[in-house]
Amino acid sequence: MLNGLQNKVAIITGAGQGIGAAISRRLAQEGAKVVLVDINADCLKDIAHELDTETLTISADISKKNHVLNMVEQTKNTFGRVDILVNNAGIIRDGFLSRLSEDDWDKVMDVNLKGPFLCCQAVFDTMKAQNSGKIVNIVSRSWLGNIGQANYSASKGGLVSLTRTLALELARFQINVNAVAPGLIETPMTKNMPEEALARLLRMQPTGKMGSVDDIAAAVAFLSSGDGAFINGQILHVDGGKSCGLLSL
């Protein structure tokens, strides 16, 4: 068991499937009370039923400020505090530059960058009053650059900068802000990728295989725990080494 997660209140966005569901399970196993948030609320009840902890499920679009404010309000009304925020919800709308529409750009920025900004802002007063808090942003190894993902990579690069800036701004309130950068992980998001694109990504993978959602959940749990207390403003790549450079065999 990790230190200091017992009875902590954790909001996880995009908790309905994939990485967000795994993070919710892991934080629940560590004794946290979990607030499961997703734009697609259908799957949240099933996940909540599995968990052996107090839960709250909220249907919200994190790119909408009124939804986000309501999410924090409901959490405080139910549990009285917010200890952990995991900004996990994210989307892809891939395409080469010439084919990316303005809508593809705006949607990805709204969910992947504006959403986490709104969520961080919404929990800030509560965490400041508590004089403690942990924020973990799920970015992507793609923030370093990835062909066909100009919008996605830029959104995650923006989220890296937001992470580092808020780490500086919020440290004085004992709020840690870190990011986890997953590599290629087996989830519904990657299952929906074109076969050819997935095969290309696997060829570039040092481990030759995808990571699991539990690999990401473990990193998030560590950064959310007391064990990560002096870690602030860091980007933890969980990618089987892919961020270390080009693979030439």
Ligand X SMILES: NC(=O)c1ccc[n+]([C@@H]2O[C@H](COP(=O)([O-])OP(=O)(O)OC[C@H]3O[C@@H](n4cnc5c(N)ncnc54)[C@H](O)[C@@H]3O)[C@@H](O)[C@H]2O)c1
The yes-or-no answer on residue 152 being catalytic is yes
For residue 154, report the phi and psi dihedrals to the nearest 5 degrees.
Answer: -65, -40
Q: How far is the CB of 220 from ligand X (least distance, A)?
A: 10
Residues 6+ apart with CB under 8 A from 230: none
Based on CB atoms, which residue is closest to ligand X, 18 or 158? Answer: 18
Residues 6+ apart with CB under 8 A from 192: none
Q: How far is the CB of 111 from ligand X (least distance, A)?
A: 4
Q: How far is the CB of 6 from ligand X (least distance, A)?
A: 26
Q: How far is the CB of 71 from ligand X (least distance, A)?
A: 9
Tell me which residue has tokens 């370093």: 144
Measured CA to CA, the distance from residue 91 to residue 83 in angstroms comes to 25
Based on CB atoms, which residue is closest to ligand X, 4 or 116? Answer: 116
Measured CA to CA, the distance from residue 124 to residue 85 in angstroms comes to 10
Measured CA to CA, the distance from residue 174 to residue 189 in angstroms comes to 34
Catalytic residue among 19, 152, 156, 211: 152
Based on CB atoms, which residue is closest to ligand X, 198 or 231? Answer: 198
Based on CB atoms, which residue is closest to ligand X, 30 or 239? Answer: 239
Based on CB atoms, which residue is closest to ligand X, 130 or 212? Answer: 212
Query: Strands 84-87 and 9-13, how do they pair?
Result: parallel
Helix and strand counts by DSSP (H, E) for the chain: 9, 7
For residue 237, report the phi and psi dihedrals to the nearest 5 degrees.
Answer: -80, 125
- Contact between residue 189 and residue 149 where contact means Cβ atoms under 8 Å apart: no
Q: Alpha carbon of 172 to those of 3, 86, 131, 223, 241: distances in Å?
A: 22, 20, 9, 18, 33
**Footprint of ligand X (CB under 6 A):** 13-14, 16-20, 38-40, 60-63, 88-91, 111, 115, 138, 140, 182, 184-185, 187-190
DSSP code string of 146-175: -TTBHHHHHHHHHHHHHHHHHHHHHGGGTE
Q: How far is the CB of 54 from ligand X (least distance, A)?
A: 21
Q: How far is the CB of 142 from ligand X (least distance, A)?
A: 7
Based on CB atoms, which residue is closest to ligand X, 33 or 114? Answer: 114
Active site residues: 152
